[in-house]
Structures are given as structure tokens and as C-alpha cells.
Structure 1
């Protein structure tokens, strides 16, 4: 019997330092997120970051928390509930970090008699800190707990025509009535070394002005290329002129060289360049979360206005949009045939 496991990032149990701290510990101690030797990682995370970050993050989570709980979890659950009636196989939901574990999701499917699982990381672009860590963790659990199961994973869908159409339609819908000067595509940032580590050719990815535009097998696992390609295809579908949009990367950590240009730096400059009405879309996420609701819709908006900007529109993620849920259902049905 076949079944599907949708997997998103995860969330603390509540917006309090007590619950945020173990969540951040699990997240940041993941060797695919902070990819340094264990002892150094433990020193950085447990000796430095977790001394202040839980309280700061808890404050940020508190600003976006809903009565029903974490927005990311609630929106993922709504999506799952809409997708389930569209398919003829069980659909479970799990998170890479936090209490909604991948093991619980696989157990739910196992209890329904599922032996063939479609692993569906809810990330359009491939990255070792998102997609890869889900696949590795799921395989570890399968070997230990569910050896009779087999996995098929959904590849990065950054360039699939129906996803691109869903994203373009969503952007267009939310721009109605908003006279924008500029549309910013803000993607989650990653360290540059992650790009080189996932380069299957070991030589293509130079993170220069040309490698992302030069055909290569490396592109199947290159986050940077996939972000640019998502943007290129959406822009083409929307018919945007070159001076009307740009691409940046957000949420960097200090100490490493991360993908540039940086979202916060670029947004601060925009009012001085005559951009008074700014719309921002965050296509690295399919569900709104801390990085979209607090970092962009609140902090970036405040910075934009403080630097002389006028109107700021944070375009929601696809979330449980009907067209997007239908697309996911179609992909599942194609696999389940």
C-alpha cells in the first residue's frame, strides 16, 4: 500500500524561551545545518548561540503566534487537510524538528498498512540544510524502525511548470490594487560552502556571474541556481521588465560568507534609489513562518519605512491555496498510479 509523508521545517511548542531552546538546539546541532565538526558545533551552539538566542527567538515567535499555535504548523495542517480528499492514498504530515517527528509520521502511515512512502519535503529548492537533512533523517528512521518500507522522494520542484504557475498566479493575485515600484524575490540564505558541498561535479559551482547560467548536472542540487531559475520562470510568466524586480537572500548567521546580495541590506537601500512602494515574495517557503511573518512582514517593513520607503507588501506563501493543493494532489496521484 502506498502513502505520502509531507515534511516541513518544524516549530517550538510555544513562543517561550523554555520551548524555543530545545527546538533551536535540535535544529542548529543538525550537521547539515551547521556543517562543522561536532565539538566545534556544540561549542558554537551550546556555548554561544543558545545563551541569548532562545529569548530573542521567543520574542520573535510571540509576535507571530496564532491562537491555534505555530503558523507554520497550522498552515501545513490546513494544506494536508485540503490535499487528502484529492488523493486515494493516506497523507501524513511531519516536521524535521520539534515534536511532530518524522518517526511519528511514518508510524501513522505504518499503522494504516503503508509500505511504499512518497517522501515530500515541502521545499521548492534543494539544499542540504532543508531537503537533504529530511531525506537522511527519514532513511535513518526507516532502517531502525520500518525496514519493510520503501521510499521515493519528491525532487526539488523549483522549475515544475504547475508550481511556477501557482506561484505566479499567487503573486499576481496579491499585487492587485498595489501600485508597486519593485518586486523583490527574497530567498532564505545559506553559507556559500553549502553550494560547493552539494556540487556533484566538484568543480562547476564557483558562485560567480556565470555558473548558474551554464548547463550542468550540478544544477539538480544547486540551491543558488534553483532560486535564480524559479525567479526567471516566474518573471517570464508575469512579463516583468528587468528593472522591476530583483533577487536577494535573507536570514544569514554571522561569521560565514553567505549567499549575496543580502535582503536586509538591499531593502535599506531601496528608498534612496526611488523605490517607494515595495512588494516582497519569499519563494523558498511554501508555508508562512517566522522568516516570512516576522523577518519580512514586520522587521523588513519597519526598516523600509524607517529609511524613507512608503508602502510595503509582504506577499503570503502558497500555504493552503486551492490551486497549490490541487497541484500537490496531482503530483501524488501521478506517483500513486
Structure 2
């Protein structure tokens, strides 16, 4: 079919440092935290703070955390993303490339690679199930910057979200069922989503609505009532209020409510990364057990699981059929 020669897919994720070193982490964080979609403070206030205080202090600390989760092949986010792209390419039999909003390979790298393969139409799939201006919209901004450096700009479509897609919900539910088969069903399932400042949601970001919808659909699929499942937000940064309830505060409170056997998952993350492997699996586990929790089971992200690849293929094929 003609689309097999002309259509390609650009899988997009946030990005990761090239190495688990302070220098590489500083370079990555600098690009990430310079994005106004991520931090919208006035530049003359933010830039001196970022470069004079935050990066010199945080980069060495974050580098150590990356070192604790680094895989033989590299950063977990990059390893799993590469596997996803390879599997999706095999399933669809069309060009599939990776592009990261920050770091390498860049969005420009991914687009140029597709152009070299004769691609004329690109289906851009940001691997953020729930839409947020801080993630999905940042991809669109990045694409605009990339196109300014390209002589030939392909037509493109961006898949904005898939927070309520049946295959996504089923894949999440099946991952929980599989964990329960191995570890036993726990008393409570906690869905921890990456947080954003509350102000962003107050100004119209629909992210928390998508997170709530995903949680509600997952509860329905697993037949769990509100006493058996909940949702929280993690990874807050700075002093302003972020979306609540906070994951760490909730974990501190659950044992006092009689919940000492917990399963936790991160539905907003398409691959395991620093925030899941270190923050949730290690740091949050310690918080829960220090508060009196006994059993803490982390459910891995969907990563390159076949059900996840099937979902991606379904999303892409739907766009191809629309023309």
C-alpha cells in the first residue's frame, strides 16, 4: 500500500541525560528547565536562579540517582523507548523513529531520519497518555523549532492523548492483574501521576481531568470501588502548590487508615525512568514502610510489553485510515 512508503511514525518522550554524570545531567536539566512550558517564571528571575543555584546543587545529586537505576545499555527511558520503536516498526512495517523533547535524539534528528527514508507524512505519537501543556504542547513547540531548521517539512499529525483508550486501560489493568497473580492482591491500588503546579490546572490545563478519567476507567475495569483505589501526584518541585493529593503525604497516611498492603503504579509514564524506578520503587517504598506499611508492590510501566505496542499500533492505524 502507498502509505507504507510515505508514512512514518515519530515516537516522542521527554528525554534523558546521555550519561549518568553531573555534566550530562546538568546539560539535560538546563534544556528541560529552560522551557517556559515547564517553568513559566520571568526569565530574568528564573535564569540566574537556575544556573547559579539549582543546577550546581541538583546536577550532582540527580546524577547519583541516575547511576542507581542506569542499565547496561544506558538510561532506562532510552532503553525501553528504543525497544518500543523497534517493536512498533516491526508490527507496522513502516519507518518508526525516536525523538526526544529534550536531549538526544532530538525531534529534529527523528524528523530528518524519517525524511531520509522517503517519509512524506509523519504521525507524531507523544507517549503521554494524559494531555498536559507541560508535555504534549511542549512537543508541538519543539516540532515548530525543528521545522525551522528543515528544508523539506512533511505534513504531520499529532496524537494529543490516549488517556481513555480501551487498549490503554486494558493494558494497565492486565499489568495490575499480572502483579497480583505473582504477589497476591493488595488492600489498595494507588495510581501515582506526575504532578504539575496547581496554577497550571487553574489556568486551563486539562491534565488532572485526564488523570481522573484514567483512574476511574481503570477502577471500572478492575471492579474496584473507591475504598480500594486512589490517585495521587508525585515529583513536585519548588515551593508553590502542586496538584493534590501528594503521593508522599498519602503514603505516610495510609498505614494509619489500616492499609498496610499496597500496590502502586504510575499510569502517566509510558516507560520506567528515574521517577518510577528511584522515586516510587525506592523512595516511596521507604516512606510507606517508615509510616507502618508492610507490603509495597510497584507495578512496572507498560514499557515494551506487547499490549503496549498493540495500543500504539492501533493509535497510528486510526490516523492512517483517516488519511
Measured against the shorter chain, the TM-score band is over 0.9
CA distance in 2, matches of 1:258, 1:334: 35
Q: Is the 8 A contact 1:11 1:70 kept in 2?
A: yes
Contact 1:88 1:333 in 2 (8 A): no
Q: Which residue of 1 aligns with 2:178?
A: 173
Tell me which of 280, 293, 299 is aligned to 2:264: 280
Deviation of 1:170 after TM superposition, in Å, equals: 1.4
Question: 2:274 maps to which residue?
Answer: 290
2:233 is matched with: 249
Deviation at 1:329, TM superposition (A): 1.3
Aligned positions, number: 315
Choose the corresponding residue for 1:224, options 208, 211, 230: 208
Per-residue Cα deviation, 1:290-310 (whole angstroms, up to 9, x for no partner): 000000000011111122111
User: Deviation of residue 147 (structure 1)?
Assistant: 4.3
TM-score of the two chains, using structure 1 as the length reference: 0.91
The answer to whether residue 308 in structure 2 is matched with residue 331 in structure 1 is: no
CA distance in 2 between counterparts of 1:187 and 1:120 reads 20
CA distance in 2, matches of 1:246, 1:331: 27
Deviation at 1:82, TM superposition (A): 1.0
CA contact (8 A) 1:89 1:336 kept: no
Structure 2: distance between partners of 1:115 and 1:39: 41
1:154 aligns with 2:159: yes
Partner of 2:3: none
Q: Measure how far apart 1:64 and its partner are.
A: 0.6
User: Which blocks of at least 5 consecutive residues in structure 1 are unaligned?
Assistant: 200-220
2 CA distance for matches of 1:137 and 1:196? 24
Deviation at 1:146, TM superposition (A): 4.4
**Alignment partner, residue 311 of structure 1:** 295
Deviation, 1:331, is 2.0
Rounded Cα–Cα distance in structure 2 between residues aligned with 1:153 and 1:12: 25
Matches within 5 A, 1:14-163: 14-163=19-168
Q: Which runs of 5+ in 2 are unaligned?
A: 1-5
Shift of 1:43: 2.4
Alignment partners' CA distance in 1, 2:301 and 2:58: 26
Q: Give 1:334 deviation, angstroms.
A: 2.7
Distance 1:146 1:174, change over 3 A: farther
Report the TM-score when normalising by structure 2.
0.94
Q: Is the Cα–Cα contact under 8 Å of residues 9 and 97 in structure 1 kept in the other structure?
A: yes
1:94, 1:100 within 8 Å by CA — same for their partners in 2?
yes
Secondary structure at the aligned position of 1:148 is classed as coil
Higher deviation after alignment, 247-256 or 35-44: 35-44
1:136 is displaced (CA, Å) by: 1.0
Which residue number in structure 2 is paired with residue 264 of structure 1?
A: 248
Q: Structure 1 stretch 11-20 or stretch 175-184: which is displaced more?
A: 175-184
Tell me the distance in 2 between the aligned counterparts of 1:281 and 1:304.
14
Separation in 2 of the partners of 1:336 and 1:85? 17
Partner SS for 2:148: helix
